Chain A
Amino acid sequence: DTGVSQNPRHKITKRGQNVTFRCDPISEHNRLYWYRQTLGQGPEFLTYFQNEAQLEKSRLLSDRFSAERPKGSFSTLEIQRTEQGDSAMYLCASSLVDYDKQYFGPGTRLTVT
């Protein structure tokens, strides 16, 4: 059973640059979630998909963030014009249904200098 994978694992970028992260969920899972976690805090929900449809986006998510899941399989999260406050761990998770347990990937750690 292949788990959730995320690429890259680490990303260092300069302020103002755009970055894109990829998440590959467990193959039969139709729900995919993105979270952000800063040091010493719990994950903060960003958005989630059922198949290719983006069902919800956190009000905390600025317009610089966009996520896609074009064929209902992998997903990408793009951050435009990065700011130092975007530095965090970005976690992806997937599940069969949304009241079931979510399987998390290892995360992508973003550092904006």
Chain B
Amino acid sequence: AQKITQTQPGMFVQEKEAVTLDCTYDTSDPSYGLFWYKQPSSGEMIFLIYQGSYDQQNATEGRYSLNFQKARKSANLVISASQLGDSAMYFCAMRENEDNFNKFYFGSGTKLNVKP
């Protein structure tokens, strides 16, 4: 089974509107972490937001928020008030512990295009 699933290869959003990027995960580790990264066309990976499995509240970082639904194993990224500079690839990632070592898994990404 895939550890991280991103089912939206591409998304379009109008500038200034909100958009939700989907992410589901699979793990049996009770203590895990979820991340979202942005990768513009220039190639660098930029950290956006982190959610720990025991965190009671959804994480927020400026215009980014993570809609964490633990029972459904989903960790969707919400970007409010989209800007043209938000056009990029977005990757959901997970850290889990296996055999006393941490391992990291990334999804296949969602390409977001913000339209003026």
Q: Which B residues between 16 and 45 are near A, CB-CB below 8 angstroms?
A: 33, 35, 37, 43-45
- Contact B35 A101, beta carbon cutoff 8 Å: yes
Question: Could you tell me how many residues of chain A have their Cβ less than 8 Å away from some Cβ of chain B?
Answer: 25
Pick from A48, A100, A104: contact of B45, CB under 8 Å: A104
Main secondary structure of the interface of B (DSSP, over half): strand
Asked if A56 and B47 make an inter-chain contact with CB atoms under 8 angstroms apart, the answer reads: no
> Per-position contact with B for A47-65: 1 when CB-CB < 8 Å, else 0?
0100000011010000000
CB nearest neighbor in B for A33: B104
Instruction: Contacts A42-B93, A99-B52, A101-B35 given; indicate if A107 touches B43 (C-beta within 8 A).
Output: yes
How many residues of B sit at the interface, in one of the four size bands?
A: 20 to 34
A43 near B102 with CB under 8 A, answer no
Q: For B91, give its contact among A42, A56, A103 (CB under 8 Å).
A: A42
| Residues in B85-111 with C-beta less than 8 Å from chain A | 91, 93, 95, 101-109
A87 smallest CB distance to B (angstroms):
15
Interface set of A (CB-CB < 8 Å, partner B)? 33, 35, 40-45, 48, 55-56, 58, 89, 91, 93, 98-107
The 9 closest A-B pairs by CB, nearest first: A42-B106, A104-B45, A101-B47, A56-B101, A45-B104, A43-B106, A42-B91, A98-B102, A99-B33
* Interchain residue pairs with CB less than 8 A apart (11): A42-B107, A42-B109, A43-B93, A45-B103, A45-B106, A48-B104, A91-B45, A99-B33, A101-B50, A104-B44, A104-B45
